[in-house]
């Protein structure tokens, strides 16, 4: 039986590519020297495509694929996918929620602990021989009994909240609308929540609706003893203000997994001891990435078997 043609819009992890090759005849658009020419000659063949949060899917690409019915995206984020435009064309968009909740939540906790306990700075302190020279590093901060504010309480945010309670933290949250199925205190005013918290963790979708939600005012309210953790999108925070406040000490600490212009993190952060940086690794474990890959495949298989 002839395999269904499948267009890969961007690079994928080898395991996922191999699994797709078992089921479909794949074409790698990103390897074409003349991608536009290739599509002009072949676009009608593709009812399905695979992309990722990083590669995305914009309206101009949708217009180049008139036979497209479904796009399966590797990742939970949708800000790089033009879902509204796809819907006008009757195209279904599938992503990979739930399977990455636990490890992404673990990254949030890891960044919170690494930032408050000065893990990276103290690692450098030992490696540089400062301990053996008799120097003493400054005391760090604990999170036991502290109030931690979550900006967003969706799938991943709910898991973070559950895990924080195991550390003895008091969890509060900010969302546009109060959730009536949770017992955590809700703050309508994000600045007020930040003022009352020892740390704020951003875990909300990217896109225009959330751009700059973590404003200078929010970060200043968190203050010199406060910690900001971002595992959402770089765009949800005023990055210029974040850098300036970390430099001046008006914001105490930060743990950052995402940035506005990835992979270009602000170089001004590199020299700071009060910030922990990660290269967008929230879901990046072997186990979770395999589960995400399997979801990409099953999304396609389910579509073609059941519509």
Question: What phi and psi values does residue 147 have, to the nearest 5 degrees?
Answer: -90, 120
Strand (E) positions, the chain? Answer: 4-8, 24-28, 48-52, 70-74, 92-94, 147-151, 170-174, 185-186, 199-202, 227-230, 253-256, 275-277
Same fold across 5-95 and 100-277: yes
Quote the pTM value: 0.93
C-alpha torsion 77→81→83→86, nearest 10: -150
Q: Which tens digits make up the pLDDT trace of 147-177?
A: 999 999 999 999 999 999 999 999 999 999 9
Percent of the chain at pLDDT > 70 equals: 99
Question: Is residue 155 classed exposed, middle or buried when 0-12, 13-18 and 19+ CB atoms within 10 A define those classes?
Answer: middle
Instruction: Give domain limits for the chain.
Output: 5-95, 100-277
Question: Is residue 276 classed exposed, middle or buried when 0-12, 13-18 and 19+ CB atoms within 10 A define those classes?
Answer: buried
Q: Which tens digits make up the pLDDT trace of 288-299?
A: 999 999 999 999
Residues designated as active site: 233, 262, 280
Task: Say if CB 250 and CB 272 are below 8 A apart.
Answer: no
Locate tokens 């019915």: which residue? 69
CATH architecture classification, 5-95: 3-Layer(aba) Sandwich (3.40)
Q: Which tens digits make up the pLDDT trace of 20-40?
A: 999 999 999 999 999 999 999
Q: Which CATH number fits domain 100-277: 3.40.50.720, 3.40.50.10490, 3.40.710.10, 1.10.287.40?
A: 3.40.50.720
pLDDT > 70? residue 74: yes
């Amino acid at each position: 039986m002839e395999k269904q043609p499948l267009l890969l819009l961007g690079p994928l992890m080898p395991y996922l590519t191999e699994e797709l090759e078992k089921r479909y005849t794949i074409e790698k658009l990103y390897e074409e020297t003349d991608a536009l020419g290739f599509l002009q000659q072949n676009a009608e063949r593709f009812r399905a495509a695979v992309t990722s949060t990083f590669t995305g899917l914009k309206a101009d690409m949708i217009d180049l694929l008139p036979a497209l019915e479904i796009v399966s995206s590797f990742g939970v984020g949708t800000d790089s996918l033009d879902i509204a435009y796809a819907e006008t064309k009757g195209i279904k968009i599938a992503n990979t929620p739930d399977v990455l909740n636990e490890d992404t939540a673990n990254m949030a906790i890891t960044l919170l602990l690494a930032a408050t306990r000065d893990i990276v700075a103290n690692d450098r302190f030992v490696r540089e021989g400062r301990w053996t020279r008799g120097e003493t590093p400054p005391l760090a901060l604990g999170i036991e009994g502290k109030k931690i504010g979550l900006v967003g309480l969706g799938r991943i945010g709910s898991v973070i909240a559950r895990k924080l309670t195991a550390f003895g933290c008091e969890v509060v949250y900010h969302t546009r609308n109060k959730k009536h199925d949770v017992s955590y205190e809700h703050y309508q005013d994000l600045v007020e929540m930040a003022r009352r918290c020892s740390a704020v963790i951003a875990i909300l979708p990217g896109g225009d609706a959330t751009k700059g939600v973590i404003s200078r005012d929010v970060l200043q309210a968190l203050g010199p003893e406060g910690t900001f953790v971002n595992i959402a999108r770089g765009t949800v925070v005023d990055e210029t203000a974040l850098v300036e406040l970390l430099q001046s000490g008006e914001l105490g600490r930060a743990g950052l997994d995402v940035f506005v212009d990835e992979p270009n993190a602000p170089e001004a952060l590199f020299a700071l001891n009060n910030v922990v940086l990660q290269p967008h690794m929230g879901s990046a474990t072997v186990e979770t990435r395999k589960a995400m890959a399997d979801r990409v495949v099953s999304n396609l298989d389910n579509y073609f078997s059941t519509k």
